[in-house]
Amino acid sequence: MTTRAGELTEYRRKRDFTRTSEPAGGGRKKSPKLAYVIQKHAASRLHFDLRLELDGVMKSWAVPKGPSLDPSVKRLAIHVEDHPIEYNAFEGTIPEDEYGGGTVMVWDTGSYTSAGGEDDPEEALRQGYRKGDFKFVLRGKRLKGSWVLVRTRGWGGRKEQWLLIKHRDDEADASSDPVAEHPTSAKSGRTMEEIADGRPPKRSRKRGPKR
């Protein structure tokens, strides 16, 4: 299934692709596994963008304080426009005078699935999203386990508000702060400052052959 152009109308309307290096989208097919990404975004206010692939686009929420592994913590998540799947790889700086101007980091990346083990997990996710009770399991480099997004108000409005909550499972940890513990990119190993300065990605260290 390819991205349907109409789903990205709002995304494209807000951006001038002759000025920003963000992808226009529409050229990538559905992933073998449903894609997941969180991008750290230093726009007018620092926040984290949670994106979950559904129906050929990335459903997106701006999470001002980022994710918490504490099940008792409910993090505000503001639903924003759908993004193209190609956006998952975007890491760089959006010009200040463009929409969302600021530095973007790929903070976590991986795949996700439904939390219930249904015969058709994507349909279960679709129904949960529509109902505003969106349960899912993350399989990222940094975040894993069961989560839920709960819609609180503003269905269909400009500022639709949800809550991001970690379920109680083996991955929950009230003593851990993933935002503070992971200040660098899951993709390039760079800090926000290094991305803004245009420094090259850091190479992972490989062990040499044993002698």
Residue pLDDT, tens place only, 138-154: 999 999 999 999 999 76
pLDDT at position 21 over 90: yes
Q: What is the mean pLDDT of residues 7-28?
A: 91
Q: What is the mean pLDDT of residues 38-45?
A: 97
Residue pLDDT, tens place only, 76-103: 999 999 999 999 999 999 999 999 999 9
The predicted model scores a pTM of: 0.90
Per-residue pLDDT at 4: 47
Lowest-confidence region among 64-78, 99-113, 116-130, 176-190: 116-130
pLDDT at position 202 over 60: yes
Per-residue pLDDT at 3: 44
Residue pLDDT, tens place only, 157-190: 567 999 999 999 999 999 999 999 999 999 999 9
Three-class HEC string of the chain: CECCHHHHHHHHHCCCCCCCCCCCCCCCECCCCCEEEEEEEECCCEEEEEEEEECCEEEEEEECCCCCCCCCCEEEEEEEEEECHHHHHCCEEECCCCCCCEEEEEEEEEEEEECCCCCCHHHHHHHHHHHCEEEEEEEECCCEEEEEEEEEECCCCCCCEEEEEECCCCCCCCCCCHHHHCCCCCCCCCCHHHHHCCCCCCCCCCCCCCC
